């Protein structure tokens, strides 16, 4: 299986802002993945700190 995380960071102006948002997203999903079976087809939208959808993660068959 493959874990795929796609996040569009073009909406953030500085490298620091991009790094902060990516860090927050990674921390959140690292703790939240235990609620999923982690089977191909699983996935969810990814939102920034203002709840705008900026990507998604998914599990695919390798």
For the segment 3-28, what is each residue's pLDDT rounded down to a tens digit? 999 999 999 999 999 999 999 999 99
* Number of domains present in the structure of the chain: 1
DSSP string of 19-41, one letter each residue: HHHHHHHHHHHHHHGGGS---TT
pLDDT band at 62 (very low <50, low <70, confident <90, very high): confident
Segments forming the whole domain that contains residue 15: 2-60
Which pTM value belongs to this model?
0.84
Nearest Cα residue to 55 out of 44, 12, 31: 44
**Direct distance between the N- and C-terminal alpha carbons of the chain, in angstroms, rounded to an integer:** 5
- Helix, strand, or coil here: 18? helix
32-46 pLDDT, tens digit each: 999 999 999 999 999
Strand, helix or coil for residue 17: helix
Confidence (pLDDT) at 24: 95
């Amino acid at each position: 299986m493959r874990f795929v995380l796609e996040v569009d960071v073009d909406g953030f102006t500085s490298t620091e802002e991009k790094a902060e948002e990516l860090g927050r997203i990674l921390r959140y999903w690292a703790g939240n993945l235990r609620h999923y079976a982690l089977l191909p087809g699983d996935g969810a939208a990814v939102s920034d700190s203002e709840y705008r959808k900026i990507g998604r993660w998914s599990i695919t068959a390798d």
